[in-house]
Amino acid sequence: MEKIKIGGLMQSEGRALLRVLSVPDRPGVAGTLLSILGQNGINIEFLVEGSDLEGYGNFAICIDQKDLGTALGILESVKNNIDARGISYVPDVAILSVFGPHLREKPRVPGAMFNALASNGINIIAISTSISSVSCVIESVHVDAAIQALQNAFEIPFFEVKKRPRDY
């Protein structure tokens, strides 16, 4: 099959995924979570919120691995205020993003991306999209294989790598 032309691929390593689980669906929860993290200097690189079968919200938030301990403490401090049932995390993850141009006019991109990763045995932990990109979180141990799989699936003229020294 012919490779799909995309604008590029970005890789961001040295990240951690936080999950805030089973939060009642009401105004202000996202604002509370994101504000308190931001006020403490924690940058959010990836964010997804969705609802489960019971109508509770579940947040998946990627941050720099070095901020994991601080973020966990902050989230534990607001857990009762937002009535979250749980907080969990996955350390040492990476974010992979494929981006435009005109990605919204290329409906095959998400399926091709995730099929390429799956065919290499790479599990996707979280997915987020925008008008111009498709991003996913994977375990860092699979980054090299994932990059190779995506290079086989797409014509990629631009590739950016953001690595963090492994000092955490």
97 and 153 in a common domain:
yes
The Cα–Cα gap between 55 and 22 comes to 8
- Of the chain, the percentage scoring pLDDT greater than 90 comes to 77
Q: Are 111 and 157 found together in one domain?
A: yes
Residue 133: strand pairing partners: 99
In tens, the pLDDT along 25-39 reads 889 999 999 999 999
Secondary structure letter of residue 55 according to DSSP = S
Domain that holds residue 71: 14-91
Instruction: Looking at the structure, tell me whether residues 100 and 147 fall in a common domain.
Output: yes
As for how many domains the chain has, the answer is: 2
Interval 39-54: pLDDT, tens: 999 999 999 999 999 9
145 and 127, same domain (yes or no): yes
CA 22: distance to chain centroid? 19
